[in-house]
Amino acid sequence: MGFFYFDESIHPHAKFTLGAFVYAERDLDEVVADALRQSGLTPRIDEFKSGARMDRSPQQACARKHLRSVVHDHCRIGIVVVPHSPRQLLGCEAFCGLKKILSTNHFESTQHQAFFDQGIFATAAIGKSAADTLGDIAPTCFFEQDSRRVLGLQVADLVAHTCAVMLLAELGLVKKMVKSGENSGYDPDSDMELEFELWAGVRYNFFAAAPPPPDQWESQLDFQVDVEARGLHVAATCDLEVRRATLARFGSMYLGCIH
């Protein structure tokens, strides 16, 4: 059984909402619960929230670190970008993205479940109607789910926020430098752009086509995979600049050496 988890990050000032599907071949509840416990949080009572002030909450910052490892080790990522308004647009477009993911990628599991955070659809009934448009490939869907109970949604929250910050940076709306830190491959005290750090942590996890064979590369720069065809859906009604930035940031993903 495979598991999809979906959450969103809303940015009215930038004219977009970004939704993230996180997929794992097994239920993420146990590994997320362990990550929370390692961070000093109590699963199903406390929860990780990407919008928390990390500089004021060491436990949240620690949970973010551990959940990034969960993404790296267990997850594949699909992205849906829509206008921030109307709010109800996200749910229907999310199923367009899910249809692309299910119909173009290989999965070990033949059956899937999909969990949607609260507020993605106005009601569970509306969500079910949207799911019916997928026909035979539709997973078993659960709507209006509580991220304290369905712990994989906290991973989707992290990924949605991470990718939204990357998109904001592509739009020129986020400019922040961070220390590269330990195990980055760089001098731990050197500065790097925040969006580069975030990209480096997730670039291998997107649903994507296979890269071209090495004997067809003219340089290392050709080690790229097509995400747009397998793991990215951009609503037709998106602002043109948002669409451009989304395709520039997520349409393809470079997997070669960055050191």
Domains of the chain in start order, with CATH, are 2-254 (3.30.420.10)
Nearest by Cα to 78 from 229, 200, 256, 236: 229
Helix count and strand count (H, E) for the chain:
8, 10
Is the pLDDT reported for residue 184 higher than 70?
A: no
Nearest by Cα to 79 from 1, 170, 148: 170
Q: Work out the pLDDT band at 177, boundaries 50, 70, 90.
A: confident
Q: Work out the pLDDT band at 175, boundaries 50, 70, 90.
A: confident
Q: What is the largest CA-CA distance in the chain?
A: 53
Calpha distance 72→67 (Å, rounded): 9
pLDDT in tens, 19-30: 999 999 999 999
Is the pLDDT reported for residue 224 higher than 90?
A: yes
Nearest by Cα to 6 from 66, 106, 96: 96
Q: Work out the pLDDT band at 257, boundaries 50, 70, 90.
A: confident
pLDDT in tens, 45-87: 999 999 888 888 899 999 999 999 999 999 999 999 999 999 8
pTM to 2 decimal places: 0.94
Mean pLDDT of 123-133: 91
Cβ neighbour number for residue 105 with a 10 Å cutoff: 16
Which pLDDT score, from 0 to 100, does residue 219 have?
83
Which amino acid is residue 220, in one-letter code? Q
Which pLDDT score, from 0 to 100, does residue 178 have?
75
Query: What does the DSSP 8-state code read for residue 65?
Result: H
Calpha distance 30→135 (Å, rounded): 31
Q: In which element (H, E) is residue 240 found?
A: helix 240-250
Task: Check: CB of residue 94 under 8 Å from CB of residue 19.
Answer: yes
Query: What does the DSSP 8-state code read for residue 142?
Result: E
